[in-house]
Chains A and B, each alone.
Chain A
Amino acid sequence: MLEDKMLLWKFRHGSNDAFRHIYDKYKNDLLGLAIALSHDRTAAEDALQDVFVSFAQRADKLHLKTSLKSYLSTCIANKVRDIKRKKSIQTVELDQAGQISTEDDQPDTLVMSAELSAQVEHAMAQLPYDQREVIFLHLHSGMKFREIAESKNVLLNTVLSRYRYGLEQLRSQLSGKVESWKTQRISKD
Chain B
Amino acid sequence: MENSENIERLIKAFCTDKNSSARTTEQLDEKILNAALSAREEYKRTQSAQTQPKIWRIAMHSKLTKLAAAAVVAVAVIVGSQFLGGTVTFAQVIKPILNARTAVLDYVIGEGPDALEMHDIVIGSRIRRTMSNMDMTKILDPRVRSTLSNMDMTMILDLEDARMLTLVSLGVTKIASYNDIQGTGLEGTRSVLDFVRNVVSEVKDNPDADIQDLGEKEINGQKAVGFYVKGLNVDLTIWANKKTSLPIRIEFTEGKTSTVVIKNIKFDVPLEESLVSMEVPAGYTLKDTFIHIENTAPDNLPEEQLDLSNATEEDLVESLRIWAEIILDGAFPDAIGTDHFMKQAAVLGSKLASLGLPLSEMEQLCFKYTKGMIFLQKFEFGGKWGYAGKGMKLGDADKIILWYQPQGSNTYRAIYGDLRVAEVAEEDLPK
Q: Mark A100-133, 1 if CB is under 8 A from B, else 0.
A: 0110111001111000010011001000000000
Give Cα A163 to B253, complex, Å.
31
Q: Mark B28-60, 1 if CB is under 8 A from A, else 0.
A: 110111011101100100000000000000000
Among A56, A105, A121, the residue within 8 A (CB) of B39 is A56
**Chain B: interface size category:** 35 or more
Q: Mark A135-179, 1 if CB is under 8 A from B, else 0.
A: 110011000001000110100000000000001101110111111
Stretch at the interface among B11-19, B85-93, B128-136: B11-19
Give Cα A27 to B24, complex, Å.
7
Taking a contact as CB atoms under 8 Å apart, the answer to whether A140 and B40 are in contact is: no
Give Cα A179 to B23, complex, Å.
30
| B62: interface (CB < 8 Å) | no
Chain B contacts with A in 375-408, Cβ cutoff 8 A: 382, 384, 407
CB-CB under 8 A from A136, the residues of chain B are 15
Tell me the smallest distance from the CB of B289 to a CB of chain A, in Å: 21
With A52-B36, A61-B197, A63-B199 in contact, do A13 and B160 touch (Cβ < 8 Å)? yes
Taking a contact as CB atoms under 8 Å apart, the answer to whether B28 and A45 are in contact is: yes
Among A28, A44, A146, A150, the residue within 8 A (CB) of B19 is A28
Taking a contact as CB atoms under 8 Å apart, the answer to whether A23 and B33 are in contact is: yes
Tell me the smallest distance from the CB of A78 to a CB of chain B, in Å: 11
Give Cα A20 to B9, complex, Å.
33
| B2: interface (CB < 8 Å) | yes
CB-CB under 8 A from A135, the residues of chain B are 11
Taking a contact as CB atoms under 8 Å apart, the answer to whether B233 and A174 are in contact is: no
In the complex, what residue of chain A is closest to B14 when comparing beta carbons? A120
Given contacts A44-B22, A153-B232, 18 further A-B contacts (CB under 8 A): A2-B407, A9-B162, A16-B37, A19-B33, A24-B29, A27-B29, A28-B19, A29-B19, A48-B32, A55-B36, A57-B39, A102-B21, A105-B21, A111-B16, A111-B17, A117-B18, A120-B10, A146-B384
Show the binding face of B for A, using Cβ within 8 Å.
1-4, 6-24, 28-29, 31-33, 35-37, 39-40, 43, 160, 162, 183, 195, 197-199, 201-202, 206, 208-209, 232-233, 382, 384, 407
A and B contact pairs by CB, cutoff 8 A, 30 listed? A2-B407, A27-B29, A27-B32, A35-B18, A44-B22, A45-B24, A45-B28, A52-B36, A55-B36, A56-B37, A61-B197, A61-B201, A63-B195, A63-B201, A65-B233, A101-B21, A104-B21, A110-B20, A111-B16, A112-B14, A117-B14, A139-B12, A140-B19, A151-B232, A153-B206, A153-B209, A153-B232, A171-B2, A171-B4, A175-B1
Show the binding face of A for B, using Cβ within 8 Å.
1-2, 9, 13, 16, 19-20, 23-24, 27-29, 31-32, 35-36, 44-45, 48-49, 52-53, 55-57, 59, 61-65, 101-102, 104-106, 109-112, 117, 120-121, 124, 135-136, 139-140, 146, 150-151, 153, 167-168, 170-172, 174-179, 181
Give the 6 A-B residue pairs with the shortest CB-CB distance, closest first: A63-B198, A32-B22, A32-B19, A56-B36, A140-B15, A56-B40
